[in-house]
Amino acid sequence: MLNEDIATIGLAGSYRDVLCDGAGRITWDSGWRKNQILIDCRRLLAGFMLGQPSTGGIRGLWVGTGDPAWDAGVPPPPQPTDTDLVARLHQLKLGDPGLKLDYLDPDTGKLSVAPTQRLQIAATLGPDVATGTLREFGLAGQLDNREVVINLVRHVAIVKDPVSTLTRTIHLVF
């Protein structure tokens, strides 16, 4: 009974982008928006439940330039069956200082040391990191000993110059 329409029932995600100039002033804020949980996220969760040793959690955040043709209108929404970004530019890997994963308390929305069904992924792309016009991003997880995209967003073009900082916050609810 799996199909694209019900493949991600029960999983939800949202994100917020904040761009600051070299002096730390906010120049753009996307506000909170929905993101697309991909089928490979469900496959990854199934691998965890089976205890598959070749399955790992979030391994990084991929940032991409997407397709410049999207600038003429609204970027096409990602589909649950998508498996990659259109054009990767940069990757923050688990353990990099710019990538932080935490549990969120479902009642307060604050960080929690105890496991919960909510995660916050905070990615900071500082000066000289992933510069250019950004149009997409995805979270990467490990499935069958390879990295796969488990969450994907295509968004309006964000021009990130060499002195700006983009802070991307992602919430996932399981």
- How do residues 46-94 score in pLDDT, each as one tens digit? 998 999 999 989 999 999 999 999 999 999 999 999 999 999 999 999 9
Q: Is the Cβ–Cβ distance between 143 and 47 less than 8 Å?
A: yes
Averaged pLDDT, 99-114:
95
Averaged pLDDT, 28-42:
94
Averaged pLDDT, 155-165:
97
Residue 89 belongs to a domain: yes
> Domain range spanning residue 160?
12-173
User: How far is it, in rounded angstroms, from Cα 33 to Cα 50?
Assistant: 32
Residue 42 belongs to a domain: yes
Q: How many distinct structural domains can be found in the chain?
A: 1
As a whole number of Å, the end-to-end CA separation of the chain is 20
Averaged pLDDT, 93-108:
95
Q: Is the Cβ–Cβ distance between 154 and 75 less than 8 Å?
A: yes
Residue 3 belongs to a domain: no
User: How far is it, in rounded angstroms, from Cα 98 to Cα 96?
Assistant: 5
pLDDT of residue 140: 97
Q: Is the Cβ–Cβ distance between 137 and 85 less than 8 Å?
A: yes
Residue 6 belongs to a domain: no
pLDDT band at 10 (very low <50, low <70, confident <90, very high): confident
Residue 19 belongs to a domain: yes
Q: Is the pLDDT of residue 169 over 90?
A: yes
Q: Is the pLDDT of residue 2 over 70?
A: no
User: How far is it, in rounded angstroms, from Cα 65 to Cα 123?
Assistant: 17
Question: Where does the chain have alpha helices with state H?
Answer: 39-50
User: How far is it, in rounded angstroms, from Cα 122 to Cα 141?
Assistant: 15
Q: What are phi and psi of 82, to 5 degrees?
A: -60, 150
Residue 98 belongs to a domain: yes
Per-chain mean pLDDT for the chain: 93
Task: Read off the pTM.
Answer: 0.91
Q: Is the pLDDT of residue 128 over 90?
A: yes
SS3 for 38?
A: coil
Residue 126 belongs to a domain: yes
Averaged pLDDT, 138-142:
96
